[in-house]
Amino acid sequence: MNIEVLGALAVTENGVSITPTAPKPRQVLALLALHADRVVPVSALIEELWGAAPPRSARTTLQTYVLQLRELIAAALEKGEPGDGMGGEDRRTAKDVLVTMPSGYLLASGDGQSDVRAFERLAGTGYRAMDAGDFPAAARQLREALALWSGTAFADVQAGAQLEMEIKRLEESRLCALDQRIEADLRLGRHRELLAELTVLVNRYRTHESLHGQFMLALYRSGRRGEALEVYQRLRATLVRDLGLEPSAGLRRLQRSILTANPETAAPAPRAAKDRLVPTS
């Protein structure tokens, strides 16, 4: 089974899509696919579909959605070629793929591919390379991890409470990987190459201090000191207006070092204690 959620939802078995078009069965599959090979409790699925006030028929309706998914899985399993390990007595059934457990349901991936797991593996390798000071490897691994994203996670799924929480978690993971990849590129002297990308990012994440600090540093190193200071002033105005907060101490130090052309600006942008992630709509 191949699972893609970092963008549009796409789940295939034997190369055949098992992704339903109806919104609620699609939600069920999305949550099961994200937690593939782990039990998703019935309570979590019901909350995802109906929130805090499910109908009395919630469990029965959920079972209907599971049956619909199994029909799609069964049709995909029928496409298995002879000799592919799926035939005869060893052939998996739909109930082997979408398993009923005492407390919920489990989608068995059969050691298939998952873009989330691939992203986490590559990002983890990149973080370890950063910690070891191997910035070329870190930039390469993190760039490869970020390339797995084709848009917002579950972009075409109607998200309830459970998926909304997971979407936020995945977006935070993506931003962490992006932040570290940009830091690796800065350490490699790629400041001019980063300017266009950072221009877009700081306009999208208007209160993300680390991205603004990286943009300031890239501008300063590119001989654009005045523009670097303007980025700080715009960020400060936004933070004060929208959140009632001043920039972090680390960002203020960076601004002062740019004002005085201090050698500190040769170092990477300081990390804020907690970046405020407020993307524009």
pLDDT in tens, 82-112: 444 444 446 789 999 999 999 999 999 988 8
Q: Which helix (H) or strand (E) holds 165?
A: helix 161-187
Phi and psi, residue 3, nearest 5°:
-125, 125
**pLDDT number for residue 272:** 45
DSSP states of 104-124: EEEE---S-EEHHHHHHHHHH
Matching residue, tokens 């005492």: 102
Beta-bridge partners for 41: 104
Residue-wise pLDDT for 125-173, tens only, equals 999 999 999 999 999 999 999 999 999 999 999 999 999 999 999 999 9
**pLDDT number for residue 275:** 54
Nearest alpha carbon to residue 267 among 217, 208, 195, 199: 217
**pLDDT number for residue 264:** 57
pTM: 0.87
Domains of the chain: residue spans and CATH: 2-110 (1.10.10.10), 190-281 (1.25.40.10)
**pLDDT number for residue 83:** 43
Say whether 86 sits in a helix, a strand or coil.
Answer: coil
Ranges under pLDDT 70 in the chain: 80-90, 263-281
